[in-house]
Structure 1
Amino acid sequence: MYHHSGNVAHVATGSATGLLEPGAREPEALYFQRCAWCGSAMYHRLLCPVCRGSELRTERSEGSGTVRHSTVVHRNTPAARNVSLIEMAEGFVVRGRVMGPPIGIHSGDRVRLSTAKDPVRGEPVFQLLDEYRAWT
């Protein structure tokens, strides 16, 4: 059985049933939950935000998504960085960073997972699929 801590699946007893076998996880994979009752996808939740169901299955994301919002952050960092909300193809939203110039990330940009867990912030890191878009 699995529970989530950030974006890494951990083996645990007495938690919601997962879909993955121990050791089957690839290193650069993003995992999310899907409600067994209503089918809603979510990231790192204890209960379904739609129906409040507690039976959540763990699934592996294909890793592609769309930037819904991006902000440039200047505090607590030596250089400006972006913090983005990414809507994944499966329908859940995750907070992460998109590689590239912080002011070049726009709503609607298509992204793909690059690293499941940034070593400094612990958040997923994405790369732009349409790289030319970041420089316009």
Structure 2
Amino acid sequence: MYHPGIALHPGVGPATDGTSAGTSAPDTLLFQRCQWCGTAMYHRLLCPVCAGSDLRTEASAGTGIVRHSTVIHRNTPAARNVSLVEMAEGFTVRGRVMGPLVGIHSGDRVRLATAQDPVRREPVFQIIDEPFRSWS
């Protein structure tokens, strides 16, 4: 059974900002919010808190904080990073942060660059401002 409030892919789904139905900007990250308890989540069929199925699709502002980042060397010709980003709306999404692999750390503020990487189909982020770090 298809539920119209569930976005099946980032950047594709029902519009919530008054644009034509079924389309959204390619750089928009869509997520769901439970109508019952208000929990924000990414790509879920049921709310993880109350198990409600009445989910509303919303567009994210696109800013967040890196909570965890790791470098992956398998199944790819070059090393790449995979990061968990906590978005301002309260949900966490797995994606890639652009930049040098050793320069991405927990606590870095990021902004959405592309809602869907063409190869991995994950959101791509860029660092907003690099904090001062002491390398001693």
TM category, shorter: 0.7 to 0.9
Is the aligned partner of 1:91 residue 2:101?
no
Residues 20-99 of structure 1: matches in 2 within 5 Å?
Answer: 21-22=20-21, 25-99=24-98
Unpaired segments of 5 or more residues in structure 1?
12-17
Q: RMSD value over aligned CA atoms?
A: 2.0
Distance in 1 between the 2:12 and 2:22 partners? 10
8 A contact 1:3–1:9 mirrored in 2: no
Is the aligned partner of 1:103 residue 2:102?
yes
State the 1:132 CA deviation.
6.2
State the 1:67 CA deviation.
0.2
State the 1:78 CA deviation.
1.3
Distance in 2 between the 1:71 and 1:42 partners? 22
Unpaired segments of 5 or more residues in structure 2?
none
| Residue deviations 1:79-133 (CA, integer Å, cap 9, x gap) | 1110000000000000000000112110000000000000010000000011466
Q: Which amino acid aligns with 1:58?
A: T
State the 1:49 CA deviation.
0.3
Runs of 4 or more, structure 1, over 4 Å off, are none
Residues 6-17 of structure 1: matches in 2 within 5 Å?
Answer: 6-10=9-13
State the 1:5 CA deviation.
1.9
1:2–1:37 CA distance, 2 compared to 1 (3 A)? closer
Q: Which amino acid aligns with 2:36?
A: W
Q: Which amino acid aligns with 1:62?
A: A
State the 1:6 CA deviation.
2.8
Partner of 1:14: none
8 A contact 1:2–1:9 mirrored in 2: no
How high is the sequence identity, in percent, across the aligned residues? Answer: 66
